[in-house]
Amino acid sequence: MTVTFYFFLSWMLIGLFLFNRIHDKASIEEVSFLLLLSCLINTHTYGGLFETFKWMKTTTDSKLFIAFLIYKNLFVPLILTCFVLLIDTSIKNLKILYFLFFIFIILFIDVINLSSGLYSFKTWNLAYTFIYYGILLLFLLFALKWFRGLKLRTEGEKNAVDWKGIWDEWLFCHWRDYRNLEYLFPSAENIYEAIYHTSISLHINSGKYLG
């Protein structure tokens, strides 16, 4: 029953993403970034902290353990990504409401997991769950803003005009017309400086610059 529950919820969230109901203001790259980052953090937190320091004990039942894996590796990253995008694209008052609603869902799910036996708390409690997922949600919001800034810088570099490349291409196309520039400009240190001076002269005298 628990496996079916989490499988249904996960597929419902996947359907919302696929049919563009949630991330209409986010790109596929941003959604993928949030899913992978939240999955990475949450998986390593459960494996590296909860299990290592014995803060909680995971079930040994095979069916319940499958449900736990779906919850940890699929459901949590999906719902985190969902609420990060909802909070990011909402006005200030709605941001607070979405945050509180997210915490309510997480705590409610935690109670279901405890009652169904997916895991049991040792030195952990619901207050720590609230703190952990609240911090994780805020971290993902800042990570999304950083990722968008990184994308803008990358796109700006790609769209920048490569004047050196244009100049080199022009030199290659017009090289034969200026084979004897060393004779015309004997004081030039190299042929490229001579070509530069000649192109400026052509622009001033005949308006023919860069072809």
Amino acid 211: pLDDT:
46
pLDDT tens track for 119-175: 888 888 899 999 999 999 999 999 999 998 887 776 655 555 555 555 556 555 555
* CA 71 – CA 157 distance, rounded (Å): 40
The 10 Å CB-count burial string (b at 16+, else e) for 174-210 is: eeeebeebeeebeebeeeeebbeebbeeeeeeeeeee
pLDDT tens track for 82-101: 899 889 888 888 899 999 99
Confidence label for 209 from pLDDT (cuts 50, 70 and 90): very low
Confidence label for 29 from pLDDT (cuts 50, 70 and 90): confident
Confidence label for 9 from pLDDT (cuts 50, 70 and 90): confident
Instruction: Tell which wins on pLDDT, 33 or 5.
Output: 33
Query: What average pLDDT does this structure show over 76-82?
Result: 92
Amino acid 208: pLDDT:
44
Return the DSSP state at 74.
I
Q: Where are the domains of the chain?
A: 2-159, 163-206
Mean pLDDT of the residues in the chain: 77
